[in-house]
Structure 1
Amino acid sequence: MGAEEYLQILREDIHSVIFATADKDGHPVTCAVDIMLSDEDSVYFLTARGKSFYERLCADPFISLTGLRGKDTMSSQSITIRGKVRETGGALLPKIFKKNPYMVEIYPTETSRSALTVFQIYEGSGEYFDLSCRPIYRESFSFGGARAAANEMDVTEECTGCGLCLPVCPQKCIDISARPVKIQQEHCLHCGKCAEICPQQAIARRKSCHSRNDCSI
């Protein structure tokens, strides 16, 4: 699936997610927030301007969020996003209240709604992770011009094809018929056991981002 489909799942099927922001000391703070709207390149949420969440967003417009669905751990799917946010004001509030009618019970009058403002996650990268299938499945995606993060286990040419990595792989997602061996990234748990046992030290984690301001997040 593409980013638009994952953002739609986040809005329609998961809806309530956990956001992480940073306080003035750089310490993480979490809160539960509903995803109100989505399109092909972004998602929208709202908050009141009097909340500390609003202050944190204005001071450091960078968020991380995770949403989860499923009746238990082994039937769960999650979507995680890291990205940049910007305030868009109140223009979308009528559309948000129409699509999310329960909001009328929380902010019943136009006067009370004047405290609200909308934020857009306009650029970011994310990952879909599915524990309900065997082997597990994961897929990275990006939107708004960001590059998808490449948080993978890489195999270098130092690999001799000894095959010691396969028995310790929880998902058995290593093709040892290839040389160097090939890790099926869409099924990998990123546990790192293959790297630990490799006698040639031919396996290592590859990350595409070294800065939280990098669009590859």
Structure 2
Amino acid sequence: MPVPALDDSLSKEEFLKLIPAAFQSVVFGTIANNRPYTNVADIELELDGKLYFATTYQKGFYHRLHAQPYVSITALKGEETMSSVGFTLNGTVKEVDLSYLDRIY
């Protein structure tokens, strides 16, 4: 999906729906033991103004999210710097019920 210009004409709802459709893979920045960590994860779903992704409890990423749920996510799409579109969002994550896996996958 082509990415439109990310400017003030795009509503919050339109922007959030665009993320799983056009960007999908994003870089998550987390903190643990006063050190930064990054992980790539796929944003699979937007529902009611929230973004959803999946990870497993065996991964360090999951444990970092539980210890410190504040994250920064960044994505970039394009082939050259001046023609690319990107964004960064900051927020908190919350574990949801396993029933969301049916919607995600």
- Letter of the structure 1 residue corresponding to residue 68 of structure 2: D
Q: Which has the larger radius of gyration?
A: 1
- Letter of the structure 1 residue corresponding to residue 97 of structure 2: G
The 3-state SS of whatever aligns with 2:54 is: strand
- Letter of the structure 2 residue corresponding to residue 78 of structure 1: G
Distance 2:86 2:47 in 1: 19
Ranges in structure 2 where 5+ consecutive residues have no aligned partner: 1-9
Once the two structures are superposed, the pairs formed by residues 32-71 of structure 1 within 5 Å of their partners are 32-71=40-79
Which structure has more relative contact order (CA 8 Å, sep 6+)? It is 2
Give the 3 Å change call, closer, same or farther, for CA 85–22 of structure 1 in structure 2: same
Given the two structures, how large is their TM-score scaled by the length of structure 1? 0.43
- Letter of the structure 2 residue corresponding to residue 2 of structure 1: S
Ranges in structure 1 where 5+ consecutive residues have no aligned partner: 98-217
- Counterpart residue number, 1:4: 13
Point out 4+ residue stretches in structure 1 off by more than 2 angstroms. Answer: none
Distance 1:9 1:94 in 2: 20
Is residue 2:29 matched to residue 1:20?
A: yes
Contact 2:52 2:104 in 1 (8 A): no
Contact 2:76 2:87 in 1 (8 A): yes
Contact 1:14 1:68 in 2 (8 A): yes
- Counterpart residue number, 1:79: 87
- Letter of the structure 2 residue corresponding to residue 5 of structure 1: E
Contact 2:45 2:104 in 1 (8 A): yes
How many angstroms does 1:39 deviate by? 2.7
Given the two structures, how large is their TM-score scaled by the length of structure 2? 0.87
Percent identity between matched residues is 38
- Counterpart residue number, 2:3: none
Give the 3 Å change call, closer, same or farther, for CA 27–7 of structure 1 in structure 2: same
Contact 1:3 1:40 in 2 (8 A): no
